[in-house]
Amino acid sequence: MKESTLIGLSTFIYLASWVSYLVHAAFRRKGPGVAGDVLAVCGLLVQTFAIGLRWWESHQLGIGHAPLSNLYESMVFFSWTMALTYLLVVRRLETRLLGAFVMPLVCFSLASTSLMNQQIQPLVPALQSNWLTAHVFTCFLGYAAFAIAFCFSLLYLLKTRGTPGSGGYLDRNLPGAELLDEFSYRMIAVGFPLLSLGIITGAAWANSAWGTYWSWDPKETWSLIVWLIYAAYLHARIARGWKGKRSAWLSLIGFAATLFCYLGVNLLLSGLHSYATG
Amino acid sequence: MRLFDTLIQKLAGIRLTILLCILLALVSLIGTLIPQNLSDTQYADSYGPRAARVIVSLGFGDIYHSIGFVSLLSLLAMNLLACSGKRFPNVWHALRRGHPVPADRKFKSWKNRETLVLSAAGEDLEDRLEEIVSRVFGKSPEQKVCEEDERVLFIERRRYARYGPYVAHLGILIILLGGVTGIFFGFKGSLTLPEGQEASAAWARKTGESIPLGFRIRCDRFIFLQYPSGAPKEYRSEVSLLDEEGTKVMEAEIRVNHPLTYQGITFYQSNYGKVFETTLRVRDRENGQETVVTTELNRPFLLPGDQGMRAMAVAFQEDLRIPAEMVRRTSFSGTSLGPAVRLVTLEEKGFGRPFWILKNPPESDPTKGGDYHFVLEGYRSISYTGLQVARDPGAPLVWAGCILLLLGFLMALLLDHEIFWISTKRQGPKKVALTLAGRGIRHPAVYHSRFERQTARLRKELAPWVKGG
């Protein structure tokens, strides 16, 4: 079976999972929610197999490398980390409504890969490094944590939009606002060290490839911008007691910057990461 | 004095940290929108003269080295120092002081608490409680109170987590220090080495000054490998290192991602290309004197005769091409003219007009070259390797700072300092009330689920004594 077919299949499974979660949200039945969970797990399994298959295929071609080397591979991996992080987090929640917000992110990022160059390409000399896997892995785990934090913050803002205790649907079915706020913070507290590790491994790599660990390339600068936004978030929260709305908005801004750091820089600005566009 | 105190207070405030983070993010953002390090005319071309003047005068063209950006970074460093300097002693003393038993047993009203009523028929429970608690928490408890009817045990885990923020901030300061050290005591340069040639100095990237290496490096061979698709597979320079007298010390390879470090100086594979060496036959048209010279590009050579006239090859093409519309107007039979060299004579008042000389057919135009007739006899291409050369004594500091930063994050964000009080109070001849109260000091809100796991384990261990259990 072909890797691209499997990716397409997993996209549809995630789509079905999203629809299930929406049905669950709309008709307030538990069944579709459970189905959403099961489908999400299936999607993740199929996708994991597809990633493994691509890795294996690259070795068959004699140019073996972890499938993390271009825009297509990174996007597949990004949606994979989001689905995985979601499934790890959802076990600790009493609600499945989060899925209705995370699954579209997973679906759309995976669906967008059908527009990209899917060929397995050999690594150009700059990418032939042991840092490749460590750098991409940590960065994208960080991005995924920020994505889930974004969803929690969104839920928080939705929950607190109406008058509290109004008995509206979201109000009754979502975990307490405080808990949503706290979960969002926990995801950022996990994502921030991962992003830092991603930046540091990137710096170490740049140092061995180009002789300079920091050169204010747009990608580096944007990763610093994201880092600074979340650093501000953590300081505001831990030391100045910012909670609720203000920190939720900061989390939304942080994720927007994360997306720009990942996609905007690759597609709109030129720089050292240009191999990640094709 | 008042003002000074307020200033120090502000400098040590977290409000300033947040403000600086946001300002640094905004300024960095500007730097990604305006291309950096272009010349004044390039800015004028893309933004118009007025906007270009604003960009250049505000330092936006090299924003990360502008006074404004460097000031923000310095302010951040001072803020981190002041902030940590103000808070660290308090935390240090509080943690050294430890936790005295609260007289009113306040912990019994903590949010995370659990009370078990145990039957204590014999001394058995009293003896085993400590052992059970050590097993559950992985640490032996400290006995704070031991009276006839009341015992209070105390356990503390991961106290070091409280130092996390200070470790992380120290890491950032060390990274900044490493960066500054690199700027002042290191250098970044480059080196272009044609095969077979050696160099004993590099060229500084910013100033263009020559930096002596203290040894010599020779490029023996440059190899460029491609994948079948034509994509680059490997750039490899095979070099020899020689001491100042020219004795070979070692041979080595430099590849992308595999730099070579020798005597504190590191060489990185950066680019490559070809240089051409041309052989020219030059004849003085007047007296027929002739010389043959072999020369590289941009290196003046003497022309025949004793006037000391010189010329220079400024460009070489293995296959000179001219636009199709020009072909119609000239006698050339096609657009592809074969090997050609572009020459220029050096005259007293400067350069003469440059002109192309083809290998085939040999030049017959009597006006080209003025008093001299040039013939391109032959040429040879030589690969060269382009190396980045750097010495950065600050790099080890940067990496040490990074490790501290990550350790600090681990301690501050992912681990927590937990304290537990366990009190047993005799409530009758055979009845003991055990209260367990716990708290995660830095992240109280997420501690709850951990507390539940911990109490569940304790309850299981104490099951034989639980009343009615």
The 3-class SS string of A138-202 reads: HHHHHHHHHHHHHHHHHHHHHHCCCCCCCCCHHHHHCCCHHHHHHHHHHHHHHHHHHHHHHHHHH
Cα–Cα distance measured from residue B236 to residue B226, given in angstroms and rounded to the nearest whole number: 12
* pLDDT tens-digit series, residues A182-206: 889 999 999 999 999 999 999 999 9
Q: Residue type for B260, please?
A: L
A256 Cβ under 8 Å from any chain B Cβ:
no
* pLDDT tens-digit series, residues A197-230: 999 999 999 999 988 899 898 999 999 999 999 9
Domain boundaries, chain B: 2-94, 99-158+416-465, 184-271+386-402, 276-384
Q: Residue type for B269, please?
A: Q
Cα separations in angstroms, B182 against A194, B172, B214, B288, B349:
26, 15, 19, 59, 44
Say yes or no for a CB contact (<8 Å) between B266 and A232. Answer: no
Mean pLDDT (whole number) for B139-154? 84
CB burial readout A129-159, b (16+ within 10 A) else e: bebbebbbbbbbbbbbbbbbbbbbbbbbbbb
Cα–Cα distance measured from residue A209 to residue B395, given in angstroms and rounded to the nearest whole number: 14
Strand order in the sheet with B418-428: B113-119, B431-440, B418-428, B150-157, B142-146
Cα separations in angstroms, B309 against A134, B29, B277, B303:
61, 55, 21, 5
Cα–Cα distance measured from residue B295 to residue B280, given in angstroms and rounded to the nearest whole number: 8
Of A213, A218, A238, nearest to B395 by CB-CB distance is: A213
DSSP annotation string for B130-185: HHHHHHHHTSPPEEEEE-SSEEEEEEEE-GGGGGHHHHHHHHHHHHHHHHHHHHHH
Residue B422: count other Cβ atoms within 10 Å of its Cβ. Answer: 25
* pLDDT tens-digit series, residues A58-89: 998 888 889 998 899 999 999 999 999 999 99
* pLDDT tens-digit series, residues A91-147: 888 788 889 999 999 999 999 998 888 888 888 888 889 999 999 999 999 999 999
Of B18, B227, B445, nearest to A235 by CB-CB distance is: B18
Say yes or no for a CB contact (<8 Å) between B409 and A196. Answer: yes
A211 Cβ under 8 Å from any chain B Cβ:
yes
Task: Decide if pLDDT at B149 tops 90.
Answer: no
Say yes or no for a CB contact (<8 Å) between B22 and A218. Answer: no
- A15 vs B283, higher pLDDT: A15
Min Cα separation B318/chain A (Å)? 28
Cα atoms found within 13 Å of the Cα of residue B75, Cβ hemisphere only: 21
Cα–Cα distance measured from residue B297 to residue B314, given in angstroms and rounded to the nearest whole number: 5
Joined together, the tokens standing for residue B43 give 């800015």
Report ipTM (2 d.p.): 0.91
Cα separations in angstroms, B330 against B322, B323, B334, B335:
11, 11, 10, 11
Cα–Cα distance measured from residue A145 to residue B443, given in angstroms and rounded to the nearest whole number: 18
pLDDT given at position A172: 67
**Residue B176's closest chain A neighbor by CA?**
A214
Lowest pLDDT segment from A37-51, A214-228, B208-222, B296-310: B296-310
As a CATH number, domain B99-158+416-465 is 3.30.2030.10
A1 Cβ under 8 Å from any chain B Cβ:
no
Helices (H), B315-416: 324-329, 395-409
Residue B184: count other Cβ atoms within 10 Å of its Cβ. Answer: 9
Interface contacts (A, B; CB < 8 Å):
119
Cα dihedral: B313, B318, B322, B328 (round 10): 110
The angle at the Cα of B24, spanning B176 to B9, to the nearest 5 degrees, equals 80
pLDDT given at position B328: 61
Residues 6+ apart with CB under 8 A from B315: B297, B341, B342
- For an interface test with A, which of B17, B18, B447 has the most A Cβ atoms less than 10 Å from its Cβ? B18
pLDDT given at position A175: 73
Cα–Cα distance measured from residue B457 to residue B468, given in angstroms and rounded to the nearest whole number: 18
Say yes or no for a CB contact (<8 Å) between A125 and B258. Answer: no
Whether the Cβ atoms of residue B435 and residue B154 lie closer than 8 Å to each other: no
Cα separations in angstroms, A63 against A49, A58, A119:
19, 6, 12
Lowest pLDDT segment from A109-118, B93-102, B175-184: B93-102
Helix/strand/coil percentages in chain A, nearest 5: 75, 0, 25
Is the C-alpha dihedral spanning A25, A30, A31, A33 positive or negative? positive
- Going by pLDDT thresholds of 50, 70 and 90, the confidence category of residue B13 is confident
Mean pLDDT (whole number) for B23-31? 93
Say yes or no for a CB contact (<8 Å) between A211 and B390. Answer: yes
* pLDDT tens-digit series, residues A158-174: 888 765 555 566 666 67
Whether the Cβ atoms of residue A143 and residue A81 lie closer than 8 Å to each other: yes
pLDDT given at position A21: 92
Which residues in chain B have their CB less than 8 angstroms from residue A214's CB?
A: 179
Cα–Cα distance measured from residue A167 to residue A42, given in angstroms and rounded to the nearest whole number: 35
Mean pLDDT (whole number) for B350-354? 82
pLDDT more than 70, % of chain A: 92
Whether the Cβ atoms of residue B79 and residue B12 lie closer than 8 Å to each other: yes
Task: Decide if pLDDT at B449 tops 60.
Answer: yes
Task: Decide if pLDDT at B189 tops 80.
Answer: yes
pLDDT given at position B290: 87
- For an interface test with B, which of A70, A210, A215, A249 has the most B Cβ atoms less than 10 Å from its Cβ? A210
Task: Decide if pLDDT at B220 tops 90.
Answer: yes
Min Cα separation B146/chain A (Å)? 37
Cα–Cα distance measured from residue A124 to residue A278, given in angstroms and rounded to the nearest whole number: 13
pLDDT given at position B122: 58
- Going by pLDDT thresholds of 50, 70 and 90, the confidence category of residue B315 is confident
- For an interface test with B, which of A89, A94, A124 has the most B Cβ atoms less than 10 Å from its Cβ? A124
Cα–Cα distance measured from residue B251 to residue B283, given in angstroms and rounded to the nearest whole number: 44
Scanning A115-134 for CB atoms below 8 A from B yields 121-122, 124-126, 128-129
Which residues in chain A have their CB less than 8 angstroms from residue B270's CB?
A: 210-211
Joined together, the tokens standing for residue B421 give 């009080």
Say yes or no for a CB contact (<8 Å) between A125 and B235. Answer: yes
Q: Residue type for B152, please?
A: V
Cα atoms found within 13 Å of the Cα of residue A252, Cβ hemisphere only: 12
Scanning A147-166 for CB atoms below 8 A from B yields none
* pLDDT tens-digit series, residues B398-408: 999 999 999 99
- B228 vs B428, higher pLDDT: B228
pLDDT given at position A278: 45
* pLDDT tens-digit series, residues B234-277: 999 999 999 988 899 999 999 999 999 999 999 999 888 888 88
Task: Decide if pLDDT at B469 tops 50.
Answer: no
Residues 6+ apart with CB under 8 A from B237: B193, B219, B221, B222, B223, B253, B254, B255, B269, B385, B387
Question: What is the DSSP pairing of strand B265-284 with strand B142-146?
Answer: unpaired
Of B15, B29, B231, nearest to A240 by CB-CB distance is: B15
Min Cα separation B217/chain A (Å)? 18
Whether the Cβ atoms of residue B120 and residue B431 lie closer than 8 Å to each other: yes
